[in-house]
Structure formats: C-alpha cells, structure tokens
Amino acid sequence: MIQAIRGLQWLSRLVGACELTLGLVIWFVGVSSVSLHILLGSVMALILLIVGAIALPVKETRSLGAIGILYAFILTGFGMVQMGLLIGPLHWLVQVLHLLIGVGSIAVVHLIGARYLKLKKVSRPAPLESADIPQSTPVAASDEA
Ligand code: HEM
C-alpha cells in the first residue's frame, strides 16, 4: 500500500500539472481541449477515490479518506456544471473557484498520502539494535593497549 500511495501521489502531480496547463490554455488561449481536460480530470477524481479508499479502513486516516472521496465528487460535480453557472461578467468567479478546487485536489491527495505514509513508517517495527548484530570484523585495538 505504501508503494501504491507513493505512485498515486506522483501521478496526481503529473495529472494535476497537465490539468492546470490545459485549463489555462482553455481559459486564456481559447483552444478547445475540453474533452481531454475532462478525461484527465476524471483520472484525478479516480486517484482521489483510490487514495481515500486506502485511507478509509485505517482509524487514524479515516476522516481524511472520507474527505478525499467527497472531494472526488465535488471536483467532478463542479467541473461538469461550472459552464452554466453565473453566466455573464461574473463568470470569472466560477472559473477561479474551479481552478482552486482543481489545484486543491492535488493538495488533498498529498495530505492523505503524507498522513498515511507517516503513520505506516511510525508503526513499522524498529530496526535491530547494533549490539544484536554479530560483528563480522574484529574491533580495532585501542591506542592504550
Ligand atoms: C486538477 C483538476 C483540474 C484543474 C486544475 C482544472 C483547471 C481548469 C481551468 C484553469 C480551467 C479554465 C477556467 C474555467 O473555464 O473554469 C478549466 C476549464 C474547464 N474544466 Fe477544469 N480543472 C480540473 C478538473 C476538471 C474536472 C474534473 C472537470 C470535469 C469533470 C473539468 C471541467 C472543465 C471544463 C468543462 C472546462 C471548460 C469551461 C469553459 O469552457 O467555460 N475540470 N479547468
């Protein structure tokens, strides 16, 4: 699970950067890459769902896991309806909100992942004491001997 979380954190960074670039291109250049943007946005929502589902059974990360799952629905829900909201001179408010929710999704994946990884690292058994490990090389004689 630790490897899965690390991989998903890495993937969310990649997908998030592509999403941000595509979104800004849609916004300022007006090039229509909306279908690809929605597809990658769905991948981001899937990452949130998986990370949330991994965190959910662990008591200490349960609420964060639930937030991750809820966030996946907010991300896709708002992404799908935003075009019809506040049509007119105030539509930029909706666009900024969508941008913030989008960037927030990267942060949520990282927050859940960081908490989960910290917890799993702490709960791992401590490494053996050096005294327990047999010495393979003789200890060098001190100068006083
Ligand atoms: C990491 C996640 C995301 C980021 C960073 C992001 C960012 C952006 C930005 C900056 C824009 C241009 C401003 C705007 O029109 O709102 C945009 C447009 C758009 N986004 Fe996203 N977005 C993300 C996820 C999603 C998702 C999950 C969906 C839908 C399921 C979606 C649907 C759309 C649509 C339809 C547009 C075009 C709106 C228009 O033409 O007016 N986005 N996105």
By C-alpha distance, which of 43, 64, 45, 44 is closest to 54? 64
Q: Into how many domains does the chain fold?
A: 1
Tell me whether residue 137 is in a domain. Answer: no
Return mean pLDDT, the chain. 89
CB 64 within 8 A of CB 115: yes
Protein residue closest via CA to atom 39 of ligand 1? 83
C-alpha 27 to ligand 1 mean position (Å): 9
pLDDT attached to residue 90 = 96
Does the pLDDT at position 127 exceed 70?
Answer: no
Count Cα atoms within 13 angstroms, Cβ side, for 129: 2
Residue of 12, 32, 35, 98 best suited for mutating to test ligand 1, as the one with most atoms within 8 Å of CB = 98
Query: What's the mean pLDDT in 97-115?
Result: 98
Full domain range(s) for residue 100: 2-121
Tell me whether residue 30 is in a domain. Answer: yes
Q: What is the 3-state secondary structure (H, E, C) of 1-57?
A: CHHHHHHHHHHHHHHHHHHHHHHHHHHHHCCCCHHHHHHHHHHHHHHHHHHHHHHCC
Tell me whether residue 131 is in a domain. Answer: no
Does the pLDDT at position 52 exceed 60?
Answer: yes
For the Cβ of 37 lying below 6 angstroms from any atom of ligand 1, the answer is yes
C-alpha 30 to ligand 1 mean position (Å): 12
pLDDT tens digits, one per residue of 60-87: 999 999 999 999 999 999 999 999 999 9
Does the pLDDT at position 137 exceed 60?
Answer: no
Tell me whether residue 51 is in a domain. Answer: yes
Tokens standing for residue 93: 């408010």
Tell me whether residue 143 is in a domain. Answer: no
More confident residue, 32 or 127: 32
